[in-house]
């Protein structure tokens, strides 16, 4: 391990985290350690060459005693609508857990790349208080910034916009939208669209997200690294890309109508969107 850079990915067995681990471990200069409690992650997502530790992020100091150079913190509760019912779990993961990771970074004097949430920018800035998930994520971005002010902890904060791609969670596992639609399409079921259906999202391929995370880890400093596709689609329009077998569901709490997107800081690092949703869906319905 001599001379290698030790990089931790919390949530490394999850959808986005596993893709990030895969990219990091491909660089022989990195020693990659994943910390995941497998509440959402899966051992099916394990990548050869990555070291896996199982446990809660609040226990990161006990689970990872190694000297560390960089932490990508993705390992938080990450569902909007279900966060109302799971508020105790949300606070434990997103508040207590993230405080534990920040303390780890402070003591290690290592950089943290925090995966913020675009819900913070929803509906003209009102989105941050629309759900327990959104509130904890927005509050954490402030805490990360304060750790820099109080203790000099280096950081970069990224914001993901509706990520899709291989290893997405399925509908049976609180799935993300595109994989849920793909699963319903494969089963010849109606695609379920939460009313009103006109809510818009900037769907972004996971590989583009990982590109941005790597750049933020290398050269990003501060807040505001938006990672999102330039084009936005309403949920009903996305469903229509699969056909006309659509079933409308009642409105749900916390379901924002839109979110502001600013990728200018990411673009200054050299990031750009390379993939688009229409091509991905077309490859799934052939």
Q: Of 91, 18, 7, give the one whose Cα is nearest residue 56.
A: 91
Which has the higher per-residue pLDDT, 192 or 169? 192
Q: Is the pTM of this model over 0.85?
A: yes
**DSSP structure class, residue 276:** -
Q: How confident is the model at residue 173 (pLDDT cuts 50, 70, 90)?
A: low
Q: For the chain, which domains are there?
A: 5-163+204-229+260-273 (3.40.50.720)
Give the gyration radius of the chain's Cα atoms: 18
Average the pLDDT over 228-245 and give the result. 96
**ω into residue 165 within 30 of 0, thus cis?**
no
**What are 90-132's pLDDT values in tens digits?**
999 999 999 999 999 999 999 999 999 988 887 776 778 889 9
Extended strands (E) in the chain: 5-10, 30-36, 51-54, 70-73, 111-117, 155-160, 163-164, 191-194, 200-201, 204-205, 222-227, 233-234, 246-249
What is the pLDDT, as a whole number, of residue 286?
A: 77
| Position 278 pLDDT exceeds 70 | yes
Q: What pLDDT is stored for residue 3 in this prediction?
A: 79
């Amino acid at each position: 391990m001599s001379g290698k850079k030790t990089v931790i990915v919390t949530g490394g067995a999850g959808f986005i985290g596993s893709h990030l681990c895969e990219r990091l471990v491909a660089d022989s200069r990195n020693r990659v350690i994943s910390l995941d409690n497998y509440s959402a992650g899966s051992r099916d997502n394990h990548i050869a060459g990555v070291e896996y530790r199982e446990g809660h992020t609040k226990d990161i100091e006990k689970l990872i005693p190694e000297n560390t150079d960089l932490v990508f913190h993705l390992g938080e509760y990450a569902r909007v609508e279900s966060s109302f019912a799971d508020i105790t779990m949300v606070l434990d993961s997103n508040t207590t857990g993230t405080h534990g990771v920040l303390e780890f970074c402070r003591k290690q004097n290592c950089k943290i790349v925090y995966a913020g949430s675009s819900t913070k920018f929803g509906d003209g800035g009102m989105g941050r208080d629309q759900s327990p998930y959104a509130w904890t994520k927005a509050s954490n971005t402030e805490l990360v910034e304060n750790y820099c002010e109080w203790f000099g902890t280096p950081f970069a904060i990224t914001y993901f916009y509706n990520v899709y791609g291989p290893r997405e969670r399925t509908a049976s596992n609180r799935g993300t939208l595109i994989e849920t639609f793909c699963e319903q399409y494969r089963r010849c079921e109606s695609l379920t669209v939460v009313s009103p259906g006109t809510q818009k999202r900037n769907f972004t391929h996971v590989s583009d997200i990982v590109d941005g995370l790597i750049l933020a880890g290398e050269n990003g400093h501060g807040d505001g690294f938006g990672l999102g596709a330039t084009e936005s689609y309403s949920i009903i329009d996305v469903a229509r890309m699969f056909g006309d077998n659509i079933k409308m569901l009642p409105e749900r709490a916390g379901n924002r109508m839109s979110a502001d997107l600013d990728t200018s800081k990411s673009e200054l690092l050299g990031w750009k969107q390379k993939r688009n949703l229409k091509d991905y869906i077309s490859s799934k319905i052939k």
